[in-house]
Amino acid sequence: MQHYLLSVVQPADGRPPATEELAEIMRNVEAFNDELRAAGAWVFSGGLHGPETATMLRPEGGDVLVTDGPYAEGKEYLGGVCLIRAADLDEALAWGRKAALATTLPIEVRPFADQH
């Protein structure tokens, strides 16, 4: 089994869904996580606060410079992550499709490097 990162891509200019719609999305996300757990594919998942809460740490001249804000400004940002186990990319993409349907947001699927 390999590990894959499912990244939830959140639009920066998006408005939060209405209360009822958000409740349905959250039920769908919980059902998705339950399905991952039942299949033995779930490792970790969680949502993130917006990029305005980010703090950057950059090495500079033997020290570390600390600044507020995201690494880069953009039209989208990382809204959450899900770390899964999957036999191969096809299986990871199948989970990614389910995540996209549950969250109603784009999902980026990436394998971890140097897995054996």
Residue position matching structure tokens 């989208």: 76
Share of the chain above pLDDT 90, in %: 84
Q: Over the stretch 5-30, which tens digit does the pLDDT of each residue have?
A: 999 999 988 788 899 999 999 999 99
Domain of residue 61, residue span:
2-111
Q: Over the stretch 40-83, which tens digit does the pLDDT of each residue have?
A: 999 999 999 989 899 999 999 999 999 998 777 788 999 999 99
Is there a domain that residue 116 lies in? Answer: no
- How many structural domains compose the chain? 1
Number of H helices, E strands in the chain: 2, 6
Residue 39: CATH number of its domain: 3.30.70.1060
Q: Which neighbouring-strand residues pair with 85?
A: 3
pTM score of the predicted model: 0.90
CB distance 2 to 90 below 8 Å: no
Angle (CA) 32-8-78 rounded to 5° is: 150
Specify the pLDDT at position 92.
Answer: 98
